Structure 1
Amino acid sequence: MRIGLGLPVVTAYPPTTQDWEKGAGIAEIATAARVADALGFHHLTCSEHVAVPDEVAAVRGGVYWDPLATFGYLAAITRQIRFATSVLVLGYHHPLEVAKRYGTLDQVSGGRLVLGVGVGSLQEEFELLGAEFDGRGARADDALAAIRSAFPTGTPSHTGPYYSYGGVTVEPHAVQDRVPVWVGGRSGRALRRAVELGDGFSPFALSPDEVATMLSRVETPEGFDVVLPSGPVDPLGDPDGVRSRLDSLQAAGATIVTASIAATGLDHYTDQLDALHSLARAQGAVFSPAAEGPR
């Protein structure tokens, strides 16, 4: 099992945002990324919302750093950690837009992109952006197939029920032959989409038992990743609780865990990262070798 991190600061979700994050910015994000990179954590996440209506923001939060801009900056100051969108809403973008912009990020980062995708659920945002909400699942399936075929080539072509194109040049394109794609969601259909069109399943708002039950109903291909969130963990204050949480996630089928760190400030956050690294390694989690140093 590998361990990644939900980046602090980049998402202000009211139930989980900590006080120290509210006044933090790119300097704190960069420090967290550098430390995680040096320790060999697998990935960092950043979510996407473009325009959240005020009444929705009171519940879901209104601060969402743009993943493309955020990861482009972090790629320049790290060496090995991966960058996972969690998630990019497929209905907000044309497939070639995703292939061009995130293919460029894959080039900039030296092949460290993980494209996390979802169909989206915030109808008001779809309407604000002029995107189709009805039928978004089928449209997302076609978009995902189109993106996958476009990533490894500068001359993509695709023929599908919603998107068709050919005779175009899209450069630069992704440096990875196969950019890992994690499909988000919490339904059986999302899991089937992940198995059929992706490389991993990244569910949310499901218990480990619920995930295990869902996985028991499908046959996953070799190398398929199950990416589960840890919820807030406190390695220094409650190491036994963290060990138990990691064990339960691995038993549910997790091959990768995205950890959220409880902290009172940036220094405490980085100390917690170090403690999580030591604790998880002792339980058999796999980390990359130490990076050569900051760029």
Structure 2
Amino acid sequence: MKIGIVSPIVTANPGAHSAWEGKAGIAELSRIAATADRLGFHHLTCSEHVAVPTAIAEQRGATYWDPISTLSFLAARTEQIRLMTQVLVLGYHHPLEIAKRYGTLDLISGGRVILGLGVGSLKEEFDLVGATFEGRGAIADDALAALRASLGKREPSYHGTHFDFDDVVVEPHAIQERLPLWIGGRTPRSLRRAATLGDGWVPFGLKLDELAAMLEKADLPDDFEVALGAGRPLDPIDNRDKTIEQVRRTRAAGATIVSATIAAESVDHYCEQLEALAALEEETR
């Protein structure tokens, strides 16, 4: 199924999560992951922030589960659904750190990792973790190239503008021959970065007509993935026709994979919504 799930519970952005999520934990998340896995959904997500300044948390939210811990736990409780970071901030990590940690996750999950990666925009957090904010785009580009040279290799080697390594062993490493790198962003530059250095694009904060216009102008590689959000949370039980329309419009805008947020009032309701959405898959194409 070419519909992925924006995981509930793991983030709590103001206005974008339901009250029940604040009381839920790993048991509820595991149940949702197992349901999505059984029904054939494409992926689950987990985002990254290390520490959000208090004043900024009022706008962006303060809850961000650690992706490597969360996705590793879910890997042991699922069999086929992909496990996606949405997104890791490239500037917070050395490429070999990502290659080792998420290569290990790729191994233990049987090759199910998708790395969603971003340049980052929260200067206060860059400063907090000792990362370089100015010039972060060029650093991210070099990190992407270093990652591509490292993922899936026992003895990676790379000589770039910001990263340089050789004569090292990374074991274990990713088992996918080409672990997907999907780049987040909302600008033409982010799309160009994704097309030249990655395997997919995960835009945010843009209207569907804006996305369609950007994609129409882009020269994209074969098998390039575009994971677009379906807009407002999907409610396939009470708003079946609207759900079908939302998914179709998202695909018409250029989505190869629809990234869905689910409207729900409890974990039981959430799983019921997943069942209803899966039943509509043929009608949404």
- In 2, the alpha carbon distance for the partners of 1:38 and 1:228 equals 23
- In 1, the alpha carbon distance for the partners of 2:216 and 2:265 equals 39
Alignment of 1:134-153 (within 5 A): 134-153=134-153
Alignment of 1:104-183 (within 5 A): 104-183=104-183
Alignment of 1:199-214 (within 5 A): 199-214=199-214
- In 2, the alpha carbon distance for the partners of 1:204 and 1:62 equals 19
Corresponding residue for residue 216 of structure 2: 216
Alpha-carbon deviations, 1:3-59, whole Å to 9, x = none?
010111000101111011011000010000000000000000110000100001111
Corresponding residue for residue 187 of structure 1: 187
Matching residue's letter, 2:10: V
Corresponding residue for residue 291 of structure 1: none
Alignment of 1:1-295 (within 5 A): 2-231=2-231, 232-284=233-285
User: Could you tell me whether the CA contact under 8 Å between 2:244 and 2:283 is conserved in 1?
Assistant: no
- In 1, the alpha carbon distance for the partners of 2:164 and 2:206 equals 35
Number of aligned residue pairs: 284
Q: Flag structure 1 segments of 5+ consecutive residues without an equivalent.
A: 285-295
Q: What's the offset of the Cα at 1:279?
A: 1.1
- In 1, the alpha carbon distance for the partners of 2:201 and 2:137 equals 16
Q: What's the offset of the Cα at 1:137?
A: 0.4
- In 2, the alpha carbon distance for the partners of 1:234 and 1:177 equals 37
TM-score by length of 1: 0.95
- In 2, the alpha carbon distance for the partners of 1:247 and 1:17 equals 24
- In 2, the alpha carbon distance for the partners of 1:207 and 1:280 equals 23
SS of alignment partner, residue 86 of structure 1: strand
Alpha-carbon deviations, 1:219-252, whole Å to 9, x = none?
1111001100123111111111111111111111
SS of alignment partner, residue 9 of structure 1: coil
Matching residue's letter, 2:115: L
Q: What's the offset of the Cα at 1:280?
A: 2.0
Matching residue's letter, 2:239: D
Q: What's the offset of the Cα at 1:207?
A: 1.0
Q: Which runs of 4+ in 1 moved over 4 A?
A: none
- In 2, the alpha carbon distance for the partners of 1:138 and 1:251 equals 33
User: Could you tell me whether the CA contact under 8 Å between 2:4 and 2:258 is conserved in 1?
Assistant: yes
Q: Superposition RMSD on alpha carbons, in Å?
A: 0.8
Matching residue's letter, 1:249: T
SS of alignment partner, residue 71 of structure 1: helix
- In 2, the alpha carbon distance for the partners of 1:45 and 1:103 equals 17
SS of alignment partner, residue 77 of structure 1: coil
- In 1, the alpha carbon distance for the partners of 2:237 and 2:284 equals 16
Matching residue's letter, 1:168: V
SS of alignment partner, residue 261 of structure 2: strand
Q: What's the offset of the Cα at 1:120?
A: 0.3
Q: What's the offset of the Cα at 1:117?
A: 0.2
- In 1, the alpha carbon distance for the partners of 2:32 and 2:126 equals 32
Residue range with higher mean Cα deviation, 275-284 or 219-228: 275-284
- In 2, the alpha carbon distance for the partners of 1:31 and 1:281 equals 25
Alpha-carbon deviations, 1:188-223, whole Å to 9, x = none?
100000000111110001111111111112111110
* Identical counterparts, % of pairs: 56
Alpha-carbon deviations, 1:246-284, whole Å to 9, x = none?
111111100001110000001000000000001123334
- In 1, the alpha carbon distance for the partners of 2:223 and 2:52 equals 36
Alpha-carbon deviations, 1:76-115, whole Å to 9, x = none?
0100000010000000000000000000000010000000
User: Could you tell me whether the CA contact under 8 Å between 2:191 and 2:201 is conserved in 1?
Assistant: yes
Q: Flag structure 2 segments of 5+ consecutive residues without an equivalent.
A: none
